Structure 1
C-alpha cells in the first residue's frame, strides 16, 4: 500500500505522513525504542524489541510492498515523530476481513494532532484494502487515546482486567475496541 500526505500540526509546523521505507529502518527502530520507553501503555519495553535496525528496514520494505498492510511514519523536520500501521488479523477466510491498528508517538510530539492524523490515515488505508473491521487494544487508563479512538467511531467490545502485566504498576486492564469500516 502507498500513502503520502502533508498535514499542518496544531503548532503550525508541517508533518509528512508517508510509508515507512527500507531506508527509514534505523530511524523507525530508534523511534520504537524511544516511544516504548516513554510510556507504559504500549505492548512491550525497549529491551523486548525483537528487531534490530536491519530487521526493521526489512519489515518496512515488506509493508511498503504489501497490498493490504502498511506502516506509516510521521516525519517532522526530518525526525520520525511517530508510527502507525495496520496488519491483517489473518489470511484465513473467517478472519481476513479484520485488521489491527497500532499507533505510537514520541512524547515530544504529543498533543499536536499526529496521533489523530496517523489513525485517520490507517482508517483510510484499511478501507482501501477492503477490510470490514479495524481493531485495537488500549490500556484502560489511557483516557486520551480512548477519547481519540471514540471520536473516530471506535466502540468498546470487551475488557481484559489482566491484559498487560506492567513492570511499573502491575496488571493493566485492556480495552478491546473496533471500528466498522
Structure 2
C-alpha cells in the first residue's frame, strides 16, 4: 500500500517520508547493509540475510499492491536515510495485525526520522483497519523502547538470551505490541 509523501524539518535537517518505489531497490540494498554494520540493535551482522536490488524491487512491488503491507523510506536530498516496513498477511486469524521493523543510518540519528517513520506507520495502520502492530527490540536499545512506549506500545514478552553480541554476552529481546 502507499501513503502520501510528507515533508519534515527537524534540527535543521529537511527530509521526506514516502512510500518506497521499485527504483529504490539498489539504494535500499546498500543502506540496509550499511545499517547492519553501524549498530548491534539489528538482527543481522553485515551481509547476513542479504537482500539485493532485485529482492528489494520484488518486495516493494508486493508491498505496493498488498493492503496489509507498508514500505516507507526517509529521503534526505535524494538519498535514503532510513526505512520502515509493516508486514501483514491474509490469514483470517491474524489479518488484523502487522509486524513493524525500522532502520535509520547512524549519521541521521537525532532528527526524528525513526519517530516520524513510526508515526506514519501508525497513522496508516489506524486508517486501514489494522488492530495491532507488533515489533521486537533489543533490551539495551533504551531510546527505541522509550519511543515505542510513548506511542502506546507495551511489553508483551521477553525472549531470554535471544541475541549474542560482540561483547560475548547474551541479551534479551523485548516483544512489544500496540493495540488500537
Q: Same fold (TM over 0.5)?
A: yes
Matched-pair contact (CA < 8 Å) for 1:21–1:60: yes
Task: Tell me the residue number matched to 2:149.
Answer: 150
Report whether the alignment pairs 1:56 with 2:56: yes
Q: Output one character per residue of 1:68-90: Cα deviation in whole Å (capped at 9) or x when no partner.
A: 201100001111000001001x4
Q: After superposition, where does 1:72-111 map in structure 2 within 5 Å?
A: 72-88=72-88, 90-111=89-110
Q: 1:167: how far off?
A: 4.5
Give me the whole-angstrom Cα distance separating, in 1, the residues matched to 2:19 and 2:167: 33
Task: Tell me the residue number matched to 1:34.
Answer: 34
Report whether the alignment pairs 1:113 with 2:126: no
User: Which ranges of 4 or more aligned residues in structure 1 deviate by more than 4 Å?
Assistant: none
Q: 1:101: how far off?
A: 0.5
Matched-pair contact (CA < 8 Å) for 2:104–2:114: yes
TM-score by length of 2: 0.94
Structure 2 unaligned residues grouped into runs of 5+: none
Matched-pair contact (CA < 8 Å) for 1:27–1:80: yes
TM-score by length of 1: 0.93
Report whether the alignment pairs 1:8 with 2:17: no
Give me the whole-angstrom Cα distance separating, in 2, the residues matched to 1:176 and 1:40: 17
Q: Output one character per residue of 1:124-172: Cα deviation in whole Å (capped at 9) or x when no partner.
A: 1222331111010000100000011011111111111122233444322
Deviates more, 1:170-179 or 1:99-108: 170-179
Do the aligned partners of residues 131 and 169 (structure 1) sit closer, same or farther apart at CA in structure 2, a change above 3 Å counting?
Answer: farther
Structure 1 unaligned residues grouped into runs of 5+: none
**Number of residue-to-residue matches in the alignment:** 180
* 3-state SS of paired residue (2:5): strand
Give me the whole-angstrom Cα distance separating, in 2, the residues matched to 1:9 and 1:37: 27
* 3-state SS of paired residue (1:17): strand
* 3-state SS of paired residue (2:47): helix
Give me the whole-angstrom Cα distance separating, in 2, the residues matched to 1:55 and 1:35: 17
* 3-state SS of paired residue (1:159): strand
Report whether the alignment pairs 1:135 with 2:127: no
Give me the whole-angstrom Cα distance separating, in 2, the residues matched to 1:99 and 1:87: 5
Q: CA RMSD in A?
A: 1.4
Give me the whole-angstrom Cα distance separating, in 2, the residues matched to 1:132 and 1:139: 24
